[in-house]
Structure 1
Amino acid sequence: MQIFLVGGAVRDRLLGLPVKERDWVVVGSTPEQMQQLGYRSVGRDFPVFLHPETREEYALARTERKTAPGYRGFDVDALPAVTLEQDLMRRDLTINAMALDSEDAIIDPYGGQRDLEQRLLRHVSPAFAEDPVRVLRVARFAARYAHLGFSVAHETLELMRAMAESGEVDALVAERVWAELVKALGERTPTAFFEVLREAGAMPHLFPELEALFGVPQPPGPHPEIDTGVHTLLVLEQATRLSPSPRVRFAALVHDLGKALTPPESWPRHHGHEKRGLAPLDALCERLKAPKDYRRLASQVMQYHGLCHRALELRPSTLVDLLQRLNALRPQHDLEAFLCACEADARGRTGLEAREYPQADHLRRAREAALSVDAEPFLRQGLSGTALGQAMREARIHAVRSQVCRAGSGP
């Protein structure tokens, strides 16, 4: 039995990056032998075991043969005769198809070190085309390593295009697409994820609501970049700078989906796009089974980012009502995430990336003023239900007017 460190741990070690987790391949063993040694079986589709002490994953070397569409349509062979080179050949990219032996010697049968040096994401073999998840993974690796100068090899892009054209990516299940999307949004350059998918022709299959934004014009005054799709990626870029949260980045990404539904005769203006976008947002979230907290924040940003941009001009009553709609007057609220996504939208415009966004502080002050209103005096008056709510609203409006707007930061 031989044990090798494989995959991402080897890749990141060679790149000089922190190794977050280690995966191991075992050559020349059987499931029975692994269990006799104290390893616990956890694999569902192929033999994977947890080390009895470190709890790291040890997988038996295996080969895979395509037997049906999708990413689970494989026949797996994990017999002791499978070699390390055969196991590495089934992997997606050359930079992920390297191993270290017990002497720290690198085994690199497919040129992973060369591609690391050339900053290329290149597929190992034509078998890449058998697994549609790899289209998403390549795009995600582009998002992870774009800042290091990595790009996708031409021949790999061609293979990805063929997979999109053949409909192979349509076999991806929603949960896997969502999982890869969230991982990509958490990477250093998530815009690269969508740029690669567009180059590969996979966006109409995976994210048609986003692809529909490209080519839709906006007024050149507030939007010097003009193209709505370009603006969307600029907003995502700004959200990435402002927050590490995938939820904030997702909300920023989808905030303008309604502009794809504006009748062409109304271009470049998009009156009412905030409401029109709710239908494609629901369709996207339903299809990908997005969690409720992602949907909720995205819906808030979509509907109210325009009001947030005009916060300095809003009447106290409108400010209070906006805070109420955002649930910002409750102990558990998402106001900071909302403000971050709105600021990203304001800055996600060519030449306006460094603009100030005083609207955020204005809304924060309005919230503090509204929260200074105590319900106790109204309860002592015997008010309840709708009457109590109306009295609280009026008092909050007065507090915002006196504490925020009259201080010179609004009407």
Structure 2
Amino acid sequence: MQIFKVGGAVRDRLLGKPVTDIDWVVVGATTEEMLAQGYRPVGSDFPVFLHPKSGEEYALARTERKSGRGYGGFTFHASPEVTLEEDLIRRDLTINAMAEDDQQNLTDPYHGQRDLEARILRHVSPAFAEDPLRVLRVARFAARYAGLGFTVAPETLELMRQLSESGELEALTAERSWKEISRALLEDQPQVFIQVLRDCGALKVLMPEVDALFGVPQPEAHHPEIDTGLHTLSVLEQSALHQQPLTVRWACLLHDLGKGLTPEEEWPRHIAHEHTGLKLIKAVNERFKAPKDCQELALLVGKYHTHGHRALELKASTLLELLQSFDVYRRPQRFEEFIAACEMDARGRKGLEQRSYPQADYLRGAAKVAREVAVQPLLEKGFKGPELGEALKRERLKALKSYKENA
């Protein structure tokens, strides 16, 4: 029995990055031998075990063969005869197909170290094209390592293009897709993830609503970058630079989908794109079964982001309506995330990345004023039920009018 550290742990050590998750491969062992040594089996698809003390995952060396559509369409074969090289060749990228023993002696049959040094994301073998999930994974790695200068090898991008055109991407489950998308959006350069998906034709399959934004012009006065797709990438880039949470990044990606529906004869204006985009945002949310908080914020940002930009001009009644829509009294954090998304939208414009966004503090102040209106005096006056709600609304409107006059 031989045990090797494999995959990301080896890659990140060689890159000088912190190693978080460690995967192990066991060569020359049987399931019975693993159980006899106290390893606990997990999953039913293939032989993976938890170490009796560390809890880390140890997998028996295995080969795989395509047997159906999608990410799950594989049959696995694990036996003591399977070599380390045979196990490594089924992996996605050369930089993930390296192993080392307990003395840090490197096994690198597919030249992963060379590709690390050349900053190239390259597939290990033609079997790469059998797994559609790898399109998303490679795009995610491109987003993670773009800052180090990594790019996707042209021949790998070509295989990704073939996969995108094959219909295999449609076989991915919403859960698997969302897992990759959400992880990619939280990388340092999530805009690279979207760009790579677009480069290989996967974006128009997975998110045609986002793909449709490229080539759609906007008024240059407000959007020096002009192209709506490029603007979306810039907004996403800003959300990462400002370390926004996943909810905000997802809303940033989807906020302008309505502009993809504007008839060409109306370009570059996009009247009521906030409302026309809602059905598209809802469709993307449902396609990937995004978490509820991500779904809700994306819809609210899509509907109200121009209100955020025009906050200083809004009438007190419109301001109150905005605050009520977000339920700022019980869910203040959601409104804070809305403000963040609006600010990222304002900064995601060519040459305007550093500009100030006074609307943010103005909106925070308005929410504070509305929240501070006390209910008790109204109860003491005898208001209750729907009448109490209306009286509270009047008091909040009065407070917001005063806030607006003194701002």
Using the size of structure 2 for normalisation, the TM-score is 0.98
Provide the C-alpha distance between the structure 2 equivalents of 1:191 and 1:362, rounded to a whole number of angstroms.
Answer: 29
Amino acid paired to 1:201? G
* Secondary structure of the structure 2 residue equivalent to 1:24: strand
CA contact (8 A) 1:327 1:333 kept: no
Is 1:339–2:339 an aligned residue pair? yes
Q: 1:286 to 1:40 in 2, by over 3 A?
A: same
Amino acid paired to 1:247? T
Residue in structure 1 matched with residue 67 of structure 2 by the alignment: 67
Provide the C-alpha distance between the structure 2 equivalents of 1:52 and 1:241, rounded to a whole number of angstroms.
Answer: 41
Residue 331 of structure 1 deviates from its aligned partner by 4.9
Amino acid paired to 2:199? E
CA contact (8 A) 2:140 2:183 kept: yes
Provide the C-alpha distance between the structure 1 equivalents of 2:68 and 2:290, rounded to a whole number of angstroms.
Answer: 27
Summarize the alignment of residues 193-272 of structure 1 with structure 2, pairs less than 5 Å apart: 193-272=193-272
Provide the C-alpha distance between the structure 2 equivalents of 1:102 and 1:370, rounded to a whole number of angstroms.
Answer: 62
Amino acid paired to 1:170? E
Amino acid paired to 2:212? A
Where has structure 1 moved over 4 Å in runs of 4 or more?
Answer: none
CA contact (8 A) 2:328 2:371 kept: no
C-alpha root-mean-square deviation of aligned residues, in Å?
1.1
Residue in structure 2 matched with residue 104 of structure 1 by the alignment: 104
Residue in structure 1 matched with residue 319 of structure 2 by the alignment: 319
Q: Deviations over 1:114-133 (max 9, x none)?
A: 00000000000000001111
Residue in structure 2 matched with residue 180 of structure 1 by the alignment: 180
Provide the C-alpha distance between the structure 2 equivalents of 1:71 and 1:30, rounded to a whole number of angstroms.
Answer: 26
Q: 1:333 to 1:387 in 2, by over 3 A?
A: farther
Is 1:376–2:373 an aligned residue pair? no
Provide the C-alpha distance between the structure 2 equivalents of 1:222 and 1:391, rounded to a whole number of angstroms.
Answer: 40
Amino acid paired to 2:17? L
CA contact (8 A) 1:375 1:392 kept: yes
Amino acid paired to 1:382? G
Provide the C-alpha distance between the structure 2 equivalents of 1:298 and 1:243, rounded to a whole number of angstroms.
Answer: 17
Amino acid paired to 2:14? L
Matched-pair identity in %? 61
* Secondary structure of the structure 2 residue equivalent to 1:58: strand
Residue 317 of structure 1 deviates from its aligned partner by 2.0
Residue in structure 2 matched with residue 159 of structure 1 by the alignment: 159
Amino acid paired to 2:405? R
Using the size of structure 1 for normalisation, the TM-score is 0.97
Q: Deviations over 1:129-151 (max 9, x none)?
A: 01111110000000100000000
Residue in structure 1 matched with residue 116 of structure 2 by the alignment: 116
Provide the C-alpha distance between the structure 2 equivalents of 1:5 and 1:285, rounded to a whole number of angstroms.
Answer: 38
Provide the C-alpha distance between the structure 2 equivalents of 1:383 and 1:244, rounded to a whole number of angstroms.
Answer: 42
Amino acid paired to 2:153? A
* Secondary structure of the structure 1 residue equivalent to 2:142: helix
Q: Deviations over 1:60-91 (max 9, x none)?
A: 00000111121111121101100000000000
Summarize the alignment of residues 287-326 of structure 1 with structure 2, pairs less than 5 Å apart: 287-326=287-326
* Secondary structure of the structure 1 residue equivalent to 2:4: strand
* Secondary structure of the structure 2 residue equivalent to 1:49: strand
Amino acid paired to 1:258? G
Unaligned runs of 5+ in 1: none
Residue in structure 1 matched with residue 128 of structure 2 by the alignment: 128
Amino acid paired to 1:76? F
Amino acid paired to 1:35? L
